[in-house]
Structure 1
Amino acid sequence: MDNWVASVVIFCRSGYEKASKNFDEEDLKVDCTGYHFMITGANSGIGKCVTTSIAERGGTIHMVCRNETAGNETKLAIMKTTGNEDIHVYVLDLSQSLEVVKFCEEFRRTHDSLNVLVNNAGCMINQKELTEEGLEKNFATNTLGMHLLTTGLVPLLQKSKNPRVVTVSSGGMLVQKLKKDDLQFEQLLPFDGTMAYAQNKRQQVVLNEQYAKKYPEIHFSCMHPGWAATPAVKSSMPEFYEKMKDRLRSPEQGADTVVWLAIGQPILKMKSGLFFQDRRPVSTHLPLACTKVSAEEEERFVEELDKIAQNLRVERIVF
């Protein structure tokens, strides 16, 4: 109960309001002109707020959206609001692994630079579904899709100035111990979409740390946006939303640390691979939660992920 009460205070709007008193707004007074930003899930919720914030600062935006109509409508709205016309929409479903690989190949071929990748897109599907490639859909989107996109764009990021990758995780991962041997949730009976999502978010945090070791030329960070009133939360967790809606952060508040990690100068002086909440690094484990695993187990997880990619006949991912 004490942990629950603490989470309500820290993760909700009141937690943000308290933390923001210590923010230095000079950190976000950045001219992004000439810098290229790719944001997944850019047409709604936190992704839309991040896109708008960076567009206001003159950045070239590459919006990756699953729905073409929603993506284009959001693009036009942001162009009108910010006056920035250098915004581009790409249609991609991250659950379709082979399409993610093809997208990365085409983007590398047609672009000379990508300064920042924001891995924001995700899903929480409460009934077990398989993709056309036979993968559990939460895993295919949140873990494998993010992984294929990130590693597929590494060569382009490495050629760019001050490259960064920011991944939007979730506080739900704090109650999850990394499961290296059941990535498709075959042992999760009955299937629980909330638990699957939280496990995917733990996997993202582990991958963020692994990327930082493998690619020192790129600055990697992962973050928890707190509990924000986004369309995704409302649709995937309706009971939680109704119970907590008066306490939830606004999407803009949830997006604040994403923007800070994507454009703020202080982050470049900090260690790569950290996990953030409200512009400060925090632990990836709760006290006494027994969620830590060994380095060998983390490596085993990456190996299992690699095997799945190989079985789909995608490019081999080697760490």
Structure 2
Amino acid sequence: MPACAAINCTNLQFKGCGRTFHLSGYEAAAKNFVAADLEVNLSGRSFMITGANSGLGKATAQEIANRGGTVHMVCRNKGRADAAKEEIVECSKNQNVHVHVVDMSCARQVWEFAQNFVQSNVLNVLINNAGCMVNQRELTEEGLEKNFATNTLGTYILTTALLPALQKAEDPRVVTVSSGGMLTQKLNVDDLQCEKGTFDGTMAYAQNKRQQVVLTERWAAQYKDVHFSSMHPGWADTPAVQSSMPSFHAKMQSKLRTEAMGADTIVWLAVAAAAARQPSGLFFQDRRAVATHLPLAFSRTSSQEEERLLAALSDLALKFKP
């Protein structure tokens, strides 16, 4: 779900960087896509996708299942997840689709799930797709701000806990679905849970997405045997956008990308040999690496601040580790 309201851009394009996030941007970029990149047989490869019961996650799960991959759907709602699984299996004729019920905003649940998963499963690719944007400051049962708990801490814990399994696999990859909204944000380690000032859900979400990009870069530097990437799907017509940003959706509906278009680069990063040849740690849009900062923007932070982020997340995550 893009943090659209945080982007001050009336023509839906970041001036000076040539990125268009809506439908026309995808259509222009797709003219240069190599169709053969996605002509792959994924039989024998295992993929975990968070938030896989709808939107970009479901579209990604469908594309991977269509190519014979084993799909592990990590979802919060069992009923919706089972219904999505049934559709994916029916369409792909692939029975290797599995549902795991996990609330990504619950740190203890994420730890327990990941620790149990690695004991009996192989994993080649983790796709961190689940996202949350609540517009009022809301705390989880564990006392964490919900956007941060889902988008940042949940992603951090799941990835960290699954790294041992990924490091044992062939061609291991981690793909994290970020957002162009993060381009408006400078990393703020001093207020990770938005406790200071007036709460703005859109800005909190964009800050979380900046955090995900920083994590991707730092993990890539630390774990050389796993390929990491983050990406922006563009502005896609998903249930999350419809529910969290109804006015934006109503205004822009005809210009939004389809779910499949939004998922295209996720799938490409997860399965294409060409993607694995890219340097680890980059940020992608429409199958190409793009800058993580706008021209002349004051959004860059020091390596010390990034290290502070990792240390803060590590300390917080350990508090909930079983």
Smaller-chain TM-score range?
over 0.9
Find the residue that maps to 2:254 and give its secondary structure: coil
What residue in structure 2 maps to residue 20 of structure 1? 30
What residue in structure 2 maps to residue 252 of structure 1? 260
Mapped to 1, the partners of 2:315 and 2:57 lie a distance apart of 30
State whether structure 2 residue 105 is matched by structure 1 residue 91: no
What residue in structure 2 maps to residue 58 of structure 1? 68
Matches within 5 A, 1:143-222: 143-187=152-196, 189-222=197-230
TM superposition score normalised by structure 2:
0.95
Task: Pick the aligned partner of 2:39 from 25, 29, 41.
Answer: 29
Cα shift readout 1:197-251 (whole Å, capped 9, x = no counterpart): 0000000000000110111100000000000000001100111111111100001
Matches within 5 A, 1:1-319: 3-5=9-11, 7=13, 10-111=20-121, 113-187=122-196, 189-310=197-318, 312-314=319-321
Two-structure CA RMSD over aligned residues (Å): 1.3
Gaps of 5+ in 1: none
User: Contact 2:228 / 2:280 at 8 angstroms: preserved in 1?
Assistant: yes
Cα shift readout 1:42-93 (whole Å, capped 9, x = no counterpart): 0100001000000000000000001000000000111111100110000000
User: Contact 1:33 / 1:59 at 8 angstroms: preserved in 2?
Assistant: yes
CA change 1:237–1:3 in 2 (3 A) is closer
Cα deviation, residue 307, structure 1: 2.2
Find the residue that maps to 1:156 and give its secondary structure: helix
Percentage of matched positions with identical amino acids: 57
User: Contact 1:166 / 1:222 at 8 angstroms: preserved in 2?
Assistant: yes
Mapped to 2, the partners of 1:2 and 1:60 lie a distance apart of 41
User: Contact 2:186 / 2:299 at 8 angstroms: preserved in 1?
Assistant: yes
TM superposition score normalised by structure 1:
0.95
Find the residue that maps to 1:72 and give its secondary structure: helix
Find the residue that maps to 1:221 and give its secondary structure: strand
User: Contact 1:123 / 1:142 at 8 angstroms: preserved in 2?
Assistant: yes
Cα deviation, residue 2, structure 1: 9.0
Bigger mean CA offset, 292-301 vs 2-11 = 2-11
Find the residue that maps to 1:281 and give its secondary structure: strand
Cα shift readout 1:277-304 (whole Å, capped 9, x = no counterpart): 0000000000111100111111111112
Give the aligned residue type for 1:7: Q
- Count residues in correspondence: 312
User: Contact 1:181 / 1:304 at 8 angstroms: preserved in 2?
Assistant: no
Mapped to 2, the partners of 1:79 and 1:20 lie a distance apart of 28
Find the residue that maps to 2:249 and give its secondary structure: helix
Cα shift readout 1:113-144 (whole Å, capped 9, x = no counterpart): 10000000011011111011100000000000
Cα deviation, residue 313, structure 1: 4.0
Cα deviation, residue 6, structure 1: 5.1
Give the aligned residue type for 1:252: A
Gaps of 5+ in 2: 1-6
CA change 1:12–1:183 in 2 (3 A) is same
